[in-house]
Amino acid sequence: DRNLTASSYGNRLRRGEDGKINPLSLGSFKPYLKPFRDWRDNGIQSMRTALEDNKKIVAVTADVSSFYHELNPGFMLKDEFNRLFDLELTDEEAKLHRLFITAIQAWADKTPLRKGLPVGLPASAVVANMALIELDRLMEKQVAPLYYGRYVDDFLLVMENGAGFESTEDLWEWLFARSNGLLDWKDKKHDAVKFKPAYLNDSQVLFENDKNKVFLLSGEQGKRLVESIAWQIHQRASEWRALPNLPVDARQIGTDLVAAVQKDGEAADNLRKTGALTMRRAGFAIKLRDFEAYERDLSPETWQAHRHAFFRAFIQHVLVLPHFFDLSIYLPRVIRLATACEDFDHLRRILNALDDLYVAVDKHCAATIKSCPSASSPASSDILSRWRTQIFDSVGESIIAAFPTRLSRNGKTSWQEHMAEYIPPDIETLLNWPIFNSLSGFKEAHQRLFSFDLAHMPFRLIGLPKEMIAQRRLIAKKYVTTMDAPGEVLPDNLIEGISILAGWTRLKGLPHGLLFSTRPFNLTELTVLVKDPYSRSGQNKMQTVVLALRGFSL
């Protein structure tokens, strides 16, 4: 990762000011949002600057098709690849490296594809980044563009149009001539560009032409296009920062949500109009984020009409084909919202809609595995069965995570009426549903998730003053689980900081939810907890706690 240049923005490891990996940071990688914005905004700024200087420019966006699925990690063991770096591995490091790569290959052999990287494994992001390091070097040194940036498998290239390109093929042929054989057409049809360094001879890295976009920009027309793109980006970024406004009329909710899921009519916010799906997701996510804010800050009865209108629109316009596949990643959040607000009647309607959705998919759709040859693909029925199991396991976990610690009287009645007897399809294969037999089993499962900071409600709220969490229902501190012998696996400075924090929050022992916090205290909340913030002792304690929680020193 250290050998990658600044033009590689995505999935970069988190480092301290000294350039070394920070083992106390909250994650292995830099948070994605700022690097993504930098990648996008720097490209737009380079276009704007060039056009202001009256230059004719060409902008290219492209991404690799099925990148993770088509990549064989064995390239990292090849001499052709390792000669690109000035790395000296010890015998122990070389053995660990070899074991890691062969472990991924063994995993791939057990999949229908028999190749590829496991999506979701953090280390896969590093392997994928390294596969395209020669592409970065090619673009930076041989093309010498005004701007080049890559975000994992997406790249954006901006350069002067001095050669007078008139077509997409002209541009690609020009790039091929400067690529030293690394880039070429996949075949004579010219429907895809292939990246083919020697170390990837057993992988397939293709830039499909239906995803590649080339823009020839010049003069006032070019400026207007770039400014339009930038304005749309700014509007959407501002909307993310703005406080949500609850509509006066609940009937507006359904209209807004339908607009958020429509395929047409969205303004472009980037150069690639495959961004229509991204925009649709963003529009829906903004609506959902607003409702989650209401759930945090308002009592359920004060905005019931708006919430119920949202659920009705969600069932009618999202839990249907084909919109569900675009927005399915938001289903767990909607389930948690309904559960936390004790809307069990609408929760049951959502579950019934999921049952109907599965029947529709089974009847009207053929299920295949992306990039998998049809001869080695499992049967469609097997794929659909596993897909259904994953959905309902996720739903079950979401209900457990958001289940109120103490149900209201109306909540208990609603649960008994709508949910107590619900049985999902193929219940014997589901992990999270057996506990639905009793509310006590439910509460125990919720307490466990909450103790590990995996519930809908962040664990840290248990340590804040009651005045700050008046709308919350928290489990009693006596049910919080703690870790035995943490010194066997965690560094001393982390244990020291968490011990101080546990004292501030009046929690006994070292709770899992503080040691492995998924949503740790922020600085504002910590200043409320510290007893003597202006003394040297208080400041030293704050430094120790922040280092343990967030991995940096104040």
What confidence score (pLDDT) does residue 272 get?
Answer: 45
In this predicted model, what pLDDT tens digit does every residue of 265-287 receive, in sequence order? 444 444 444 345 455 666 788 78
34 exposure class (CB count in 10 Å sphere: 0-12, 13-18, 19+):
exposed
Cα–Cα distance for residue pair 302/471, rounded to 1 Å:
12
What confidence score (pLDDT) does residue 236 get?
Answer: 44
Cα–Cα distance for residue pair 246/127, rounded to 1 Å:
45
The separation between CA 205 and the C-alpha centre of its own chain, rounded to angstroms, equals 23
Contact 151, 10 (CB under 8 A): yes
Whole-structure pTM value = 0.78
Q: Closest by alpha carbon to 463, among 545, 356, 341?
A: 545
Contact 218, 57 (CB under 8 A): yes
Cα–Cα distance for residue pair 104/109, rounded to 1 Å:
9
Cis peptide before 35 (omega within 30 of 0): no
What confidence score (pLDDT) does residue 493 get?
Answer: 92
Cis peptide before 322 (omega within 30 of 0): yes
What confidence score (pLDDT) does residue 375 get?
Answer: 75
Cα–Cα distance for residue pair 482/495, rounded to 1 Å:
13
In this predicted model, what pLDDT tens digit does every residue of 215-236 receive, in sequence order? 888 888 888 888 766 665 554 4
What confidence score (pLDDT) does residue 168 get?
Answer: 85
Output phi, psi for 200, to 5 deg.
-110, 30
148 exposure class (CB count in 10 Å sphere: 0-12, 13-18, 19+):
buried
Q: Pairing relation of β-strands 183-185 and 154-160?
A: unpaired
Residue 474 tokens, joined: 């928290």
CB atoms within 10 A of CB 141: 9
What confidence score (pLDDT) does residue 370 get?
Answer: 78
Q: Give the N- to C-terminal CA distance of the chain in Å, as an integer.
A: 27
Q: Is 62 helix (H, G, I), strand (E, B) or coil?
A: strand
Cα–Cα distance for residue pair 89/502, rounded to 1 Å:
41
What confidence score (pLDDT) does residue 230 get?
Answer: 65
What confidence score (pLDDT) does residue 242 get?
Answer: 45
What confidence score (pLDDT) does residue 264 get?
Answer: 42
Residue 348 tokens, joined: 């049951």
Q: Please spell the DSSP secondary structure of 263-322, one letter per residue.
A: SSSPPP-SS-TTHHHHHHHHHHHHHHHHHHHHHHHS-GGGGHHHHHHHHHHHHHHTSSTT
The CA distances from residue 317 to 279, 294, 446, 496, in Å, are 17, 22, 30, 51
Residue 18 tokens, joined: 């000294």
193 exposure class (CB count in 10 Å sphere: 0-12, 13-18, 19+):
buried
Q: Is 147 helix (H, G, I), strand (E, B) or coil?
A: strand
Cα–Cα distance for residue pair 359/331, rounded to 1 Å:
18
Residue 393 tokens, joined: 């396991």
Residue 288 tokens, joined: 């959902």
Output phi, psi for 375, to 5 deg.
-65, -30
Per-residue pLDDT for the chain (554 aa), expressed as one digit of tens each? 999 999 999 999 998 888 899 888 888 999 888 898 899 889 999 999 999 999 999 988 888 988 999 999 999 999 889 888 888 889 999 999 999 999 999 999 998 888 899 988 999 999 999 999 999 999 999 998 999 999 999 898 999 988 888 888 889 999 999 999 999 999 888 888 999 999 999 899 999 877 788 888 888 888 888 876 666 555 444 444 444 555 556 665 655 655 555 544 444 444 444 345 455 666 788 788 888 888 888 889 999 998 999 999 899 988 998 889 888 999 999 999 999 999 999 999 999 999 999 999 999 988 888 778 777 788 888 899 889 989 999 999 999 999 988 888 999 999 989 988 887 777 777 776 766 667 777 888 899 999 999 999 999 999 988 877 754 567 888 889 999 999 899 999 999 999 999 999 999 999 999 999 999 999 999 999 998 888 999 999 999 999 999 888 88
